[in-house]
Amino acid sequence: MVVRFVLWNLADTATTVEELRDYLRDEAVDAFADVPGILFKAWISDTLGERWGAIYLFESAEAAEQPLPSRARELIGKDPEIVEVFDLEASVSVAEQLARLGVVFD
Protein backbone atom coordinates (compact mmCIF):
# COMPACT_ATOMS: atom_id res chain seq x y z
CA MET A 1 0.00 0.00 0.00
CA VAL A 2 1.14 3.49 -0.86
CA VAL A 3 0.55 6.78 0.93
CA ARG A 4 0.93 10.04 -0.98
CA PHE A 5 1.16 13.40 0.79
CA VAL A 6 0.71 16.60 -1.23
CA LEU A 7 0.90 20.19 0.10
CA TRP A 8 0.58 23.62 -1.50
CA ASN A 9 1.45 27.01 -0.05
CA LEU A 10 -1.35 29.33 -1.20
CA ALA A 11 0.30 32.54 0.08
CA ASP A 12 1.67 33.47 -3.35
CA THR A 13 -1.47 32.48 -5.29
CA ALA A 14 -4.83 34.10 -5.97
CA THR A 15 -6.63 30.99 -4.66
CA THR A 16 -8.09 30.74 -1.16
CA VAL A 17 -9.00 27.80 1.03
CA GLU A 18 -12.66 28.88 0.75
CA GLU A 19 -12.53 28.65 -3.06
CA LEU A 20 -10.96 25.21 -2.83
CA ARG A 21 -13.71 24.12 -0.42
CA ASP A 22 -16.25 25.05 -3.09
CA TYR A 23 -14.28 22.91 -5.57
CA LEU A 24 -14.43 19.96 -3.16
CA ARG A 25 -18.13 20.33 -2.53
CA ASP A 26 -19.06 20.89 -6.18
CA GLU A 27 -16.69 18.53 -7.97
CA ALA A 28 -13.69 16.82 -6.40
CA VAL A 29 -15.26 14.61 -3.73
CA ASP A 30 -17.61 13.00 -6.24
CA ALA A 31 -14.84 12.65 -8.84
CA PHE A 32 -12.57 10.78 -6.43
CA ALA A 33 -15.30 8.42 -5.24
CA ASP A 34 -14.80 6.25 -8.33
CA VAL A 35 -11.01 6.22 -8.66
CA PRO A 36 -9.86 2.59 -8.96
CA GLY A 37 -7.38 1.51 -6.30
CA ILE A 38 -7.85 4.47 -3.98
CA LEU A 39 -8.76 3.34 -0.48
CA PHE A 40 -8.85 6.73 1.21
CA LYS A 41 -8.31 10.41 0.46
CA ALA A 42 -8.43 13.26 2.94
CA TRP A 43 -8.15 16.88 1.88
CA ILE A 44 -6.43 19.05 4.47
CA SER A 45 -6.15 22.80 5.01
CA ASP A 46 -4.56 25.41 7.24
CA THR A 47 -6.47 28.63 6.60
CA LEU A 48 -4.26 30.86 8.75
CA GLY A 49 -1.08 29.38 7.25
CA GLU A 50 -2.57 29.48 3.74
CA ARG A 51 -1.85 25.81 3.04
CA TRP A 52 -3.86 23.17 1.20
CA GLY A 53 -3.17 19.53 0.55
CA ALA A 54 -4.24 15.92 0.58
CA ILE A 55 -3.33 12.54 1.98
CA TYR A 56 -4.06 9.51 -0.20
CA LEU A 57 -3.97 5.80 0.49
CA PHE A 58 -3.67 3.58 -2.58
CA GLU A 59 -3.84 -0.21 -2.70
CA SER A 60 -0.72 -0.41 -4.92
CA ALA A 61 2.07 1.58 -6.54
CA GLU A 62 0.31 1.15 -9.89
CA ALA A 63 -2.88 2.72 -8.51
CA ALA A 64 -0.85 5.61 -7.08
CA GLU A 65 0.67 6.36 -10.50
CA GLN A 66 -2.58 6.63 -12.46
CA PRO A 67 -3.90 10.00 -13.68
CA LEU A 68 -6.25 11.47 -11.09
CA PRO A 69 -9.37 13.61 -11.64
CA SER A 70 -7.96 16.64 -9.84
CA ARG A 71 -8.04 20.23 -10.99
CA ALA A 72 -6.23 21.54 -7.91
CA ARG A 73 -3.04 22.38 -9.85
CA GLU A 74 -5.12 24.27 -12.40
CA LEU A 75 -7.11 26.16 -9.75
CA ILE A 76 -4.06 26.98 -7.62
CA GLY A 77 -1.91 27.79 -10.64
CA LYS A 78 1.20 25.82 -9.72
CA ASP A 79 2.51 22.43 -8.68
CA PRO A 80 2.50 21.58 -4.98
CA GLU A 81 5.59 22.43 -2.95
CA ILE A 82 5.61 18.97 -1.37
CA VAL A 83 4.80 15.63 -3.00
CA GLU A 84 6.00 12.65 -0.97
CA VAL A 85 5.27 8.95 -1.41
CA PHE A 86 5.59 6.41 1.40
CA ASP A 87 4.94 2.74 2.07
CA LEU A 88 2.13 2.23 4.57
CA GLU A 89 3.62 0.41 7.56
CA ALA A 90 0.43 -0.06 9.59
CA SER A 91 -3.01 1.43 10.11
CA VAL A 92 -5.77 1.56 12.67
CA SER A 93 -9.29 2.72 11.90
CA VAL A 94 -12.87 2.48 13.08
CA ALA A 95 -13.64 1.53 9.47
CA GLU A 96 -12.90 -2.18 9.18
CA GLN A 97 -11.70 -1.83 5.56
CA LEU A 98 -8.93 0.57 6.68
CA ALA A 99 -7.86 -1.26 9.85
CA ARG A 100 -4.69 -3.33 10.11
CA LEU A 101 -3.36 -2.48 6.66
CA GLY A 102 0.31 -2.08 5.79
CA VAL A 103 3.66 -3.71 5.34
CA VAL A 104 3.78 -5.12 8.87
CA PHE A 105 0.61 -7.14 8.16
CA ASP A 106 1.64 -8.48 4.71
Residue environment code for 14-34, b if the CB has 16+ CB neighbours within 10 A, otherwise e:
ebeeeebeebeeeebeeebee
With residues binned 3-state (H G I as helix, E B as strand, rest as coil), the percentages for the chain, rounded to 5, are 30, 30, 40
51: containing domain: 2-105
Mean pLDDT score, 79-93? 97
* AA letter at 44: I
The residue among 78, 68, 66, 64 whose CA lies nearest residue 3 is: 64
Total count of domains within the chain: 1
pLDDT (0 to 100) of residue 84: 97
CATH code of the domain in which 8 resides: 3.30.70.100
Interior angle at CA 18, CA 77 and CA 25, nearest 5: 95
Q: What is the tens place of the pLDDT at every residue in 12-64?
A: 999 999 999 999 999 999 999 999 999 999 999 999 999 999 999 999 999 99
Asked if the model's pLDDT at residue 106 lies above 90, the reply is no
pLDDT surpassing 90 at residue 88: yes
CB 105 within 8 A of CB 93: no
Give the span between the Cα atoms of 23 and 91, in whole angstroms. Answer: 29
Q: Report pLDDT for 18.
A: 96
Reported pTM: 0.91
Give pLDDT, residue 82. 98
